[in-house]
Each structure stands twice: as structure tokens, then as C-alpha cells.
Chains A and B, each alone.
Chain A
Amino acid sequence: MPAKALPVPTPETAPFWDGTKRHELRMQRCNDCAQFFFYPRPYCRHCFSANTEWRTLSGRGTLHTYVINHRPPPGWEEDAPYVIAIVELAEGPRLMTNIVGITDPTPDKLPIDAPVEVVWADVSDEITLPHFRLV
């Protein structure tokens, strides 16, 4: 079976992937406008400031929106149907992820804005992905 796509970190994103490997959800927060942003980049998404710092987040959030994919790409046959979602973290930023731990996912099992928490998927020696589950 073909392998699933894995990320290759770049210098700007390495602190995020170093964090996930330690099972810590780390993102950048802007010291000028006091907002988190994601994905990692040198300048704040909101105000373009360079005055940013890495912080560890709670790993709690809500199910912002999602799809349930029934037509898997190569490598995902065993997973279908599976949930690709946007989670909004308690601290504000959003990220794409998978919602795991639901057998045969259907919309009634996945209310919009339902609370979720991070779970860690150690998918290779180098890479750990942040997944989420309903709480």
C-alpha cells in the first residue's frame, strides 16, 4: 500500500514539529497584537510584526467545520470514511487535522462547535501529527 504523505519541516516550521514529537502543541504568538497564528511563519499573520514567540497551547478546542471523506486517496483505503476537520483552539488559532476515535463517522456524531482535545499520532520516527477527538 502506498505510504501516506508526511510533512518535511522547514526552518520556520521546525519548532512546531519538534513540539509535536514531544507531544506538545506549540504555536507562535505575536507580542505586538497578542494573537496566536498558524501555520508557522516569521511574521505575524494579523499585523505582520516580527516580534513573535513560541508558546505551548492547551490542546483543547472546538470542531469548527469538517468533511467526511468516503473516497480515499492511495494509502487511506483502510481509514475511509474518515473525518478531515478544522479545529479552532481555545487560544484562537485554527488548524487542519483528523478527528479520530469515531467508528463509521456520520454528521449526527459530529456537531459543529463540539469540544475536542488533541491526541498524538506518532506516524514515523521523525513525525508526530496532532489529531483530535471529541471530549
Chain B
Amino acid sequence: MTLKYSVAIIGAQETDAVGFLPDMSVPHLHAQAARNAIQDAGIRRDDIDGVFTAGISPALLAEYLGIVPRHLDGTSVGGCSFMILVRHAAAAIKAGLCDVALITHGESGRSRVGATRPATDPQSPMGQFEAPYGPFGPSTMFTMGVARHMAKYGTTSEQLAAVAVSTRQWAMKNPRAMMRDPITIEDVLNSRMICWPMHLLDCCLVTDGGAALIVVSAERARSMGLDHPPVYLLGAGEAVEQQMISQMVDFTSSAGYRKAGEEAFRMAEVTHRDIQHVMFYDAFTHTPIYSLEDLGFVKKGEGGPWMAEMHGAPGGDLPMNTNGGGLSYTHTGMYGMFAIQESVRQLRGEAGERQVPGVEVGLVHGPGGMFSAAATLILTNQPGD
């Protein structure tokens, strides 16, 4: 039994705008994204019988939407939760637990409307064994292994900066992207030091926004007569290594990344050469390098040079983060949903000026928390057998 070709994404839309949305609360962002995805899929609200969300409770989502679903899933482990929820939706649909799955994301990361920021409990492991040493969010913790990656493999600040430059080149082709001015490696290296080795332009944006997906069985998707191609699930993987960065076993490689990637490739029965477009969650410039290496696109240590050679930039042989990524498009906090949206857009041929010609298979990968959870999706527009 496999989940390969079990389901298809038939609706995928973001909120009307992303970026700075001070007039929208967190549940409003979820609900607007849900309405847009429902319309995109050509279904009715009442067709939805499974709700999947992270960051808020699926109970709040159901209440706000005014529906009584027969299946719910609130797996919330950070930015990759939405990739995990696609996998869970596929399993639930295959098992007959629901037929029409709605997956939503909404976060007021910048404006903090209706959002809470829980303090670290001083009795928790994090409160006792990390918080006393002055961490200040992901820029101080997610980046902890980069110095060792640099020492072990010779990865440089210039190579890290190349990730930001490549991603910005894509953002310049995306009218919805927040940051669209051209930048150079020198601009990244000369931007304010936030937390060595990360300069301001090595760090993702902080924005408001939402997005949603509608997932149904592949069979149902084929028979719906949609005006856009269904995007089928080929492979999916998920894993978790630890919660606290200080518990990471190898600071130069994520065990969660490796396991999620292996799982997705095994299920999809494709090779790296079959992947024509990648969305690698870029919370900072090092996470795409870890993705490229830990998923086996290149050997350990070759990620930095690959970025510096601009293989993922416009005109490169493996287009990466074509929406402009978390670095230049938008980053609400749990960015993974936006990575899926761009993959679907590319596979539907709806990516405008940044469309990758003839793309049939795309991969989405990213972390949840700080190299804590991880998830991978491999998607295709080819209808299969």
C-alpha cells in the first residue's frame, strides 16, 4: 500500500495580499485563504469534511468556517507542518476518514493581530538549558551549526550570501514579493550583523499572510473537470529529531531532513534527476544549503559552492525558491505553506514571468522549529496511470 498518487491538490490559494496586513486577525487570515482555495477548487464550503491546520486549533478553524468536519488534525510542529498535513490528509482520504480536506495557514507575524507569543516556561528543558544563555529567537538558535559547517566543509559567508542573491533574483520577477530591489553578495555581507554568521540579508522577512489547500482523492480530482491541472502527490516524508537545537546530534546535518527526504523519494520512486523545481524553506541562507546536501542533491560540503555557482537562480539548472522565498517573498513565521503554494503554481503553469518551462515534478522541503521537525513533498502534474 502506498500514498503515491492517492490524492491531488485541487485548490491552492493565498490571502488576497501578503506582507503587511494590520487589519486582519489570525483567524481572518485562515478564513480568507480558505475561501480563496474553496473557490479555486470549485467546491462548496459544505463539501469539506476534514480540517487540517497548525498554529491555531482545528476547532477554531471549524468554528470560524461554520462547519462540523468528521476528521481533524492539528499537528503543529512549526513551518513544515503544512507539508506534514498534506501527507496526513492523503492518509486520511485513503483510509476513508474524510473525502475533502481543507488545510489552512494564517499568521500575523508582523502585525501580531490576535496573535500570542508564549514565553518560555523556566521549568521546561528549554527554559533551564537554553534560555539562560541569551538566545533571541531563531537568528541566535537556528544558526547554531553554521560555524561548524563552515569549519568542517569550508562553507563561506559569500556562499551563504549567494542564496539571498539568487532568491532575490526570483523575487524581482514576482509582483507580490515584499523585497524586489536587486542585491549583490557585497550588499548581503555589508548589511547589519544580526548574529554572526548571519547578516540582516541572510535572515527571512517577518510578514502577515495566509494560504490554504484543498485535497481530494486523485480519482475524484480527475473526474472534476477542473480548469487547471490537479497536482498529484507522488511522495511525502516527515520526521522529527529533537525540539531544542542544543540536542542536535550532528550540527552540520539534520537527521530529520535526511529521514523525511529518504521517505519521500522512496514513496515517489523517482530520482534526484527527475526533480525539475525545488522549494527549500529558507528561514536563513543556510537552510537551503542543508536541504540540498541532506536530501542528497549534492554531497555534504558541496551545497555552498552549488549556491555560489547560482544553479538555483533564474537561468540555473535547478530553479529554487522561485517565489522569492522566505528571504524576499514573504515569511509569516510558519512559511512552509507558501513553499507548497509556489510548487503548485509552477506545476499548474501559473507562475508568470518566473515559470519554469515544462516542469512536471517539483519538490518541497523544509524544517519545523529549528531543525526540529522536517517534511518533504514530491508533487507532479502528470496524471499517472
Chain A residues with CB under 8 Å of chain B are 4-10, 13, 17, 38-39, 64-73, 76, 79, 81-82, 84, 86, 94-98, 106-107, 111-113, 123, 127, 129
Of residues 19 through 70 on chain B, the ones whose CB sits less than 8 Å from some CB of chain A are: none
Determine if B74 is an interface residue (Cβ-Cβ < 8 Å).
Answer: no
Flag B183-200 by CB within 8 Å of A: 1 or 0 each.
000000000111111100
Assess the A5–B132 pair: CB atoms within 8 A: yes
A9 to B132, CA, bound (A): 12
Assess the B144–A76 pair: CB atoms within 8 A: no
Query: What is the total number of residues of chain B having a CB less than 8 Å from a CB of chain A?
Result: 35
Determine if B330 is an interface residue (Cβ-Cβ < 8 Å).
Answer: no
Which of B122, B144, B147, B193 lies in contact with A8, CB distance below 8 A?
B122
Determine if B139 is an interface residue (Cβ-Cβ < 8 Å).
Answer: yes
A60 to B128, CA, bound (A): 21
A84 to B198, CA, bound (A): 14
Q: Which residues of A contact B198 (CB under 8 A)?
A: 67
Assess the A98–B144 pair: CB atoms within 8 A: no
Q: Which residues of B contact A65 (CB under 8 A)?
A: 144-148, 251
Which of B139, B147, B194 lies in contact with A66, CB distance below 8 A?
B147
Q: How many A-B residue pairs have CB under 8 A?
A: 112
Assess the B195–A69 pair: CB atoms within 8 A: yes
A67 to B251, CA, bound (A): 13
Given A73-B134, A84-B133, A86-B246, check contact A107 B128 (CB 8 Å): no
Which of A39, A67, A94, A112 lies in contact with B197, CB distance below 8 A?
A67
Q: How far is the CB of A97 from chain B (nearest CB, A)?
A: 6
Lowest 5 CB-CB distances: which A-B pairs, in order? A112-B151, A65-B148, A7-B128, A68-B196, A73-B136
Q: How far is the CB of B343 from chain A (nearest CB, A)?
A: 31
Determine if B135 is an interface residue (Cβ-Cβ < 8 Å).
Answer: yes
Determine if B125 is an interface residue (Cβ-Cβ < 8 Å).
Answer: yes
Assess the B140–A98 pair: CB atoms within 8 A: no
Q: How far is the CB of B158 from chain A (nearest CB, A)?
A: 14
Chain B residues with CB under 8 Å of chain A are 120, 122-123, 125, 127-136, 139-141, 143-148, 151-152, 192-198, 246-247, 251
A10 to B148, CA, bound (A): 32
A91 to B102, CA, bound (A): 50
- Given contacts A73-B135, A96-B246, A107-B196, could you give 7 more A-B pairs where the C-beta distance is less than 8 Å? A4-B134, A67-B140, A69-B140, A69-B195, A70-B193, A96-B133, A112-B147
Q: Which residues of B contact A84 (CB under 8 A)?
A: 133-135, 140-141, 144
Q: Which has the most chain B C-beta neighbours within 10 Å: A66, A76, A84, A123?
A: A84
Q: Which residues of A contact B123 (CB under 8 A)?
A: 7-10
Given A65-B145, A67-B196, A96-B246, check contact A76 B134 (CB 8 Å): yes
Assess the B134–A68 pair: CB atoms within 8 A: no
Q: Which residues of B contact A13 (CB under 8 A)?
A: 128
A92 to B270, CA, bound (A): 40
A7 to B139, CA, bound (A): 22
A73 to B139, CA, bound (A): 12
Assess the B122–A5 pair: CB atoms within 8 A: yes
Q: Which residues of B contact A82 (CB under 8 A)?
A: 134
Q: Which residue of B lies closest to A73 (CB)?
A: B136
Q: How far is the CB of A87 from chain B (nearest CB, A)?
A: 10
A124 to B208, CA, bound (A): 40
A82 to B139, CA, bound (A): 14
Assess the A66–B144 pair: CB atoms within 8 A: yes
Q: How far is the CB of B252 from chain A (nearest CB, A)?
A: 9
Q: Which has the most chain B C-beta neighbours within 10 Å: A86, A98, A123?
A: A86
Assess the B129–A39 pair: CB atoms within 8 A: yes
A98 to B131, CA, bound (A): 11
The contact sample of 30 A-B pairs, CB cut-off 8 A, is A4-B132, A4-B134, A7-B122, A7-B123, A8-B122, A8-B127, A13-B128, A17-B128, A39-B125, A39-B129, A66-B144, A66-B147, A67-B147, A68-B195, A69-B196, A70-B192, A71-B139, A73-B135, A79-B134, A84-B134, A84-B144, A86-B246, A95-B129, A96-B130, A96-B133, A98-B134, A106-B196, A107-B147, A127-B132, A129-B133
